Amino acid sequence: MTNRDFRARIFWLACNMEWQDQGILLSSRPHGENAAIINVFTRAHGRHAGVVRGGASRRMAPILQQGADLSLTWRARLDAHIGSFRVEPIRSRAALIMEDRLALAGLNAICALLRFALPERAPHAALFSVTEDLLQELTSSPDWPRHYVLWELALLSELGFGLDLSHCAVTGRCDDLIYVSPRTGRAVSRQGAGEWADRLLPFPSPDNIAQSLRTTGYFLEHSLAHALGAACLPAARGRLLSQLERL
């Protein structure tokens, strides 16, 4: 690189926005005849949108499937612009679970919830790691629904609506925790529940996934969706719950 090229590059970087990161594809929507607007969840830049030129082409369409791990380079003239992505595939996940209806419902629910809940361009590195682990489980282990429950708890916690499941809000005991208070999101023991038991939610348990998801769903809907001004959660989560209830 000559001195002149180097100076031009420095000037370009000073005037333009550019970053590289790894991301999980949450959605892809056709834009014009050849391009696509994608939404990705990245480690350092959070949920981010951008245009992929040729994203609707035959070559790119199989790569831009939900859940795919992508190497991304984002460029824009100004930070406020939507910008464009250059995309390199790292790993495809959708193709591995196309025949598994439950895993496919899980992938849909994860992507829909992230798109629904995360603010744009705010990094959530811890949630990114938990999401990567969950997606790894989704494609490799039938035990992934247990991890999904933990992921929803992590999502609530990351966005400021975390449940305190460490000890009973009434007695302070750490054992025999079987309820969660719908008002405070704190655990309640059998002894502490007393006559309020029928008004409390079941404690999330890996042995009963559907019941656990109804509890996390309560907080996702009443706390998170309410704070976002939405009336309900994405339908994809409801479809996952009904698939799990059928098991």
Partner 1 sequence: MTGPDGDIEALIALMARLPGLGPRSARRAVLSMIKKRGVLMEPLASALQRVAISARECVTCGNISTRETCVICASEKRANGTLCVVEDVADLWAMERSGVFAGRYHVLGGVLSALDNVGPDDLRIPLLRGRVREEGITEVILALNATVDGQTTAHYIADELHGTGVAVTSLAQGVPIGGELDYLDDGTISAALRARRAL
- Residue 196 phi, psi dihedral angles, 5° rounding: -90, 0
Angstrom distance (rounded) from CA 35 to CA 57 = 8
Q: Is 63 a residue that touches partner 1 (CB under 8 A)?
A: yes
Q: Is 198 a residue that touches partner 1 (CB under 8 A)?
A: no
Q: Which of 28, 93, 47 minimizes the C-alpha distance to 67?
A: 93
- Please report how close the Cβ of residue 148 comes to partner 1 at its closest, in angstroms: 16
Q: Looking only at residues 225 through 244 of this chain, which bind partner 1 when binding is defined by CB under 8 A? A: 234-236, 239
**Site size for partner 1 (CB under 8 A):** 29
Q: What is the DSSP string of 149-191?
A: HHHHHHHHHHTT---B-SS-TTT--SSSEEEE-TTT-BEEEHH
Residues 6+ positions from 71 with CB-CB distance below 8 Å: 20, 22, 87, 88, 89, 90
Q: Is 13 a residue that touches partner 1 (CB under 8 A)?
A: no
Q: Is 212 a residue that touches partner 1 (CB under 8 A)?
A: no
- Please report how close the Cβ of residue 63 comes to partner 1 at its closest, in angstroms: 6
- Please report how close the Cβ of residue 198 comes to partner 1 at its closest, in angstroms: 33
Q: Which of 51, 123, 106 minimizes the C-alpha distance to 83?
A: 51
Q: Is 168 a residue that touches partner 1 (CB under 8 A)?
A: no
Angstrom distance (rounded) from CA 72 to CA 199 = 47
Token code pair at residue 219: 């907080």
Q: Is 136 a residue that touches partner 1 (CB under 8 A)?
A: no
Q: Is 119 a residue that touches partner 1 (CB under 8 A)?
A: no
Q: Which is nearer to partner 1, 78 or 231 (CB)?
A: 231
- Please report how close the Cβ of residue 108 comes to partner 1 at its closest, in angstroms: 6
Q: What is the DSSP string of 89-104?
A: EEE--HHHHTT-HHHH
- Please report how close the Cβ of residue 94 comes to partner 1 at its closest, in angstroms: 5
Note the residues at the interface with partner 1 (CB under 8 A): 27, 29, 33, 61-63, 65-67, 89, 91-92, 94-96, 98-99, 101, 104-105, 107-108, 111-112, 115, 234-236, 239
